[in-house]
Amino acid sequence: MNRLKSISSALAISLLAFGSVTAEEDAETRLLETNECVKCDLNNAELEGAKLRRANFSGAYLYRANLEYADLRGANFTGADLSNTRLRGADLRNAIFNGAILKYTNFGDADLSGASFVDAELRGARFANTKVDGIQF
């Protein structure tokens, strides 16, 4: 009987772990197909070079996500958490980061021309060689 309980517990843990991976993959797939990922979980997502023009990331969780060299022109990150996110070399012209959490986010070599950062938290964010023409705070 104890052996059956152990096997059942191991199976349940495996299914839970598999389900969480599937949920993250589903969020990435939905984003790439619809350009929408409102309040979704994209923590640790690998989206380097993705074409996500005018995507809606409102309230999304992108902790440690990789969006390097992505096309994010006009993307909406209002209220999103992008802590430790890599946006190096990304095209972020006219992106909206109002109320976003951008702690330790790397914007190096990105184009932030016309982007809006009203009420954004920028502690530790890096902006080396970043284009900032017309940025709003």
- Asked whether residue 17 carries a pLDDT value surpassing 50, the answer given is no
Distance CA 99, CA 101 (A): 7
Task: Give residue limits of the domains in the chain.
Answer: 1-137
pLDDT band at 25 (very low <50, low <70, confident <90, very high): confident
Q: Which fold has domain 1-137?
A: Pectate Lyase C-like (2.160.20)
Report residue 112 as tokens: 């932030």
Share of the chain above pLDDT 70, in %: 82
* pLDDT tens digits, one per residue of 48-91: 999 999 999 999 999 999 999 999 999 999 999 999 999 999 99
pTM > 0.85: no
Angstrom distances, CA of residue 29 to CA of 34, 36, 43, 66: 8, 10, 14, 15
Which stretch of 20-34, 38-52, 61-75, 104-118 has the lowest confidence by average pLDDT? 20-34
State residue 23's pLDDT score.
59
